[in-house]
Amino acid sequence: MIKNIIFAILLFCSPPLLFAQEKYIAVFPEHVPPYYIYKDGHTTGGFGNELLARLAARLNISIEFKAMPSRQATIQMIKSGQAHIIPNTVKTDKRTDFLLFSDAYQSNPNAIITRKDQDIESIQDLADKKSRSSGKQNSS
């Protein structure tokens, strides 16, 4: 398992780049628990950051974590060459133009969640319902 994870991190950074740098910059959206936890001006944990920190320790490389105000800001940091890694980001056709992705090391199936008092037990039950979204998801 650890060998697969180390291989995954090597795919995030090409091997020549990996050993040429003294420090790597990992960027992430400010506070997206459980993946990134950023409070009071510093990183306090999160699955993505903790996994990357453990891999860096095994590979004996230094990583500086930088919180960005948005997902778009993390993408801009990578595109501009100011950062090297985005832990835990979704692979899209658009992103494969400028990012190298490892194999997935976790699965996050989507689910529809309703209150228990709703008369919804299947996708079909939603056919005649109107839906509301609390926000807009950006896929850039």
Q: Tell me whether residue 29 is in a domain.
A: yes
* Residues spanned by the domain of 84: 2-97
Cα(102)–Cα(120) distance, integer angstroms: 37
Q: How many independent structural domains does the chain possess?
A: 1
Is residue 38 domain-resident? Answer: yes
CATH of the domain at 13: 3.40.190.10
Q: Which of 33, 13, 99, 24 is nearest to 66 (CA)?
A: 24
Residue 27 falls within a domain, yes or no? yes
Rounded CA separation 49/26 (Å): 9
Whether pTM exceeds 0.75: no
User: pLDDT tens per residue, the chain (140 residues)?
Assistant: 554 555 455 555 444 454 566 789 999 998 788 888 888 877 778 888 888 889 899 988 999 999 999 999 999 999 999 999 998 888 899 999 999 998 887 777 777 788 888 888 887 887 777 655 544 454 44
Q: Report yes or no on 128 lying in a domain.
A: no
Q: What angle, 0 to 180 degrees and rounded to 10, lies between the N-to-C axes of helices 47-59 and 2-12?
A: 90
Asked if residues 52 and 87 have their Cβ atoms less than 8 Å apart, the reply is yes
Residue recorded with tokens 């995030």: 12
